[in-house]
Copies of this chain bind each other. A is one copy, B any other.
Amino acid sequence: MKSSDKTDHRKVLWPGSTQLAPVPAVLVACGGSKGWKNNLITVAWAGIACSHPPMLSVAIRPERYSYRIIRETEEFTVNLPSADLVRQTDWCGVVSGRDHDKFAESGLTSLPSEKIASPIVAECPLSLECQVKQVLELGVHHLFIAEILAVQVSERLIDAKGRFQLEKDGLLAFAHGHYYNLGECLGHFGFSVRKKSGSHIRK
């Protein structure tokens, strides 16, 4: 394989910090049981934790309003915003459910989940229904490890052959304090060892 021609041997040392990027910027919806009303919180500290059983992690500060809701109800949904929802996504991350009805004020619509009591966000193309399995109290964030029980997908993004057409919408990414949409598709997993290049592989 050809080496990169970038001269990149000069490095600057920074203290440890949360520079992993890009990460998702997702709307976590919670409430709907145990006396809690529905709420939304935007989370970028989220990742896949396991393929089987399907699990993900979400990091939330204990002082956030949603923290106690999720800790008590042990469930939430992870809703992937399309890029056109960037303003609502940002807003749900900077105001508190203690002072705002975030569904009502953001104009986002709640729909029922199939497997849990927490709502999903209708406008998001994908919603993952999650059940908390364990909580790690790591530091200023506690990490919720949750199983993904079900996924709801917007019907308008499924083509005639049943394939999900993500690129119709685009998803929101977060990197170093800024939101981005996804750009060009550069290849599929495994493209580097395929004998014949597929039509959607650029190089």
Contact = CB atoms under 8 A, between A and B. Distances in A.
State the copy count for this chain: 2
A9 interface: yes
A128 B134 CA distance: 26
A107 B1 contact: yes
Nearest to A47: B47
Most chain B beta-carbon neighbours within 10 Å: one of A2, A7, A179 = A179
Interface residues on A, range: 35 or more
B16 A20 contact: no
A26 to B, nearest CB: 7
Given A13-B114, A24-B22, A49 B53 contact: no
Interface in A5-36: 6-24, 26
Interface string A110-137: 0100100000101111111100001010
Contacts of A18: 48, 51, 54, 56, 148
A49 to B, nearest CB: 5
Top-4 shortest CB links A-B:
A47-B47, A183-B183, A3-B107, A16-B148
6 contacts: A1-B106, A12-B155, A22-B182, A49-B143, A53-B139, A87-B203
